[in-house]
Structure 1
Amino acid sequence: MTYTIEAVGHVRGGRADPIDDDWGQSRSTIELDPAEFGPDALAGLEAFSHAEIIFLFDKVTPEKIEKGARHPRDREDWPLTGIFGQRGKNRPNRLGVTVCRILSLEGTRLHVEGLDAIDGTPVIDIKPVMREFLPRGEIRQPGWVAELMAAYW
């Protein structure tokens, strides 16, 4: 089945290249599409410390999409892992999701820190982070993930 999803806006500023690490201090702006949204679309978001941003890895070409297993970051010392067992950008629907810090709002612009999306990236949705939607209980993950993420933020 096919669905049509329109971007609500785009990432402006921040990085131009999708480098894997050191995203924590990256600052960028999500600019809503002014033909579709006014400042009221962001009303109330300033009361939250963080937002969850859903975006499209639009620079990933169809031939680069992974549907099976691969070694994360092509590291043979990490286990062969299915695309749904990792967060790589070459996903079947090319969707990225990141929780980032809200810095400020200015009209139809949301200024954020720690968004791992590059300048020009289409933004699909913006959601406030609510404590009640965070994981309940202990989080577990394989050891290789901590090694992969050590320099990410």
Structure 2
Amino acid sequence: MVTIEVEPVATVVGGHLHVQDDYQAGVKSIIRINEKYPLETLQGIEEFSHLLVLWHFHLARPEDIQLHARSPRGNARWPATGTFVHCNHRRPNQLGTSAPELLDVDGRDLLVTGLDAVDGTPIVDVKPYMLQFAPAPEKVRQPAWPGEMLADYWRDASERP
């Protein structure tokens, strides 16, 4: 097996201060691109409404990894599913993905909302979200349980009980 090393290209500044399920919307944060990259690497990004962001669950521990089937969020109402069916930090490389809305660009700072990573999170990669890479909506299918589990995920953080 090949081992790869990656160096973060950016860091999350502000936004969510604690890891929490649900109520992710309405929180603004900054993706601050590392100074080693010239500003030219961001040229044209302001023309896109959303980004694809790959980030590391930096607060997770190696012992958090669970390589077995389990019910999402420990809820027995939902079927036990394998590690690669979950989107949490218990995966082997502890990587997360988000598609935040890009609100503004100020030098190396990308102001976003809808980034479900916390302050200090290392960003592995940033790309513009392009419709042509998204699957055709009529071809997307999934079981009912993700809709149930994530019903409050994008509710505004200000509504958190």
TM-score with structure 1 setting the length: 0.96
Structure with bigger strand share is: 1
- What is the one-letter code of the residue matched to 1:29? I
Aligned length: 152
Q: Secondary structure at the match of 1:84?
A: helix
| Alpha-carbon distance in 1 for matches of 2:75, 2:28 | 29
2: CA distance, partners of 1:57 / 1:21:
16
AA partner of residue 71 (structure 1): S
Instruction: Within 5 Å, give how 1:1-153 maps onto structure 2.
Output: 1-34=2-35, 36-136=36-136, 137-153=138-154
Q: Find the aligned partners of 1:96 and 1:88 in 2 and give their Cα distance.
A: 7
Tell me how far apart the structure 1 counterparts of residues 38 and 69 of structure 2 sit (CA, whole Å): 42
By how many angstroms is 1:53 displaced?
Answer: 0.5
Is there any run of 5+ residues in structure 2 with no aligned partner, and where? 155-161
Residue 81 (structure 1) shift: 0.6
Contact 2:45/2:128 (CA < 8 Å) preserved in 1?
A: yes
1:57, 1:88 → 2: CA distance? 9
Find the residue that maps to 1:89 and give its secondary structure: coil
CA distance in 2, matches of 1:54, 1:46: 19
Deviation at 1:142, TM superposition (A): 0.8
Q: Residue 147 of structure 1 aligns to which amino acid in structure 2?
A: E
SS of the residue corresponding to residue 81 of structure 1 reads: coil
Q: What is the Cα deviation at residue 116 of structure 1?
A: 0.3
TM-score, normalised with respect to structure 2:
0.91
Residue 42 of structure 1 deviates from its aligned partner by: 1.1
The CA distance in 2 between the partners of 1:126 and 1:9, in whole Å, is 8
Contact 1:72 1:88 in 2 (8 A): no
Q: What letter matches 1:119 in structure 2? A: D
- The CA distance in 2 between the partners of 1:7 and 1:93, in whole Å, is 14
| AA aligned opposite 1:45 | I
Matched with 2:159 is: none
AA at the equivalent of 1:143: A
**Aligned residue identity for 1:148:** M
Counterpart contact for 1:18–1:118, Cα < 8 Å = yes
Runs (4+) off by over 3 Å = none
TM-fit CA distance, 1:138: 2.5
Give me the whole-angstrom Cα distance separating, in 2, the residues matched to 1:148 and 1:89. Answer: 16
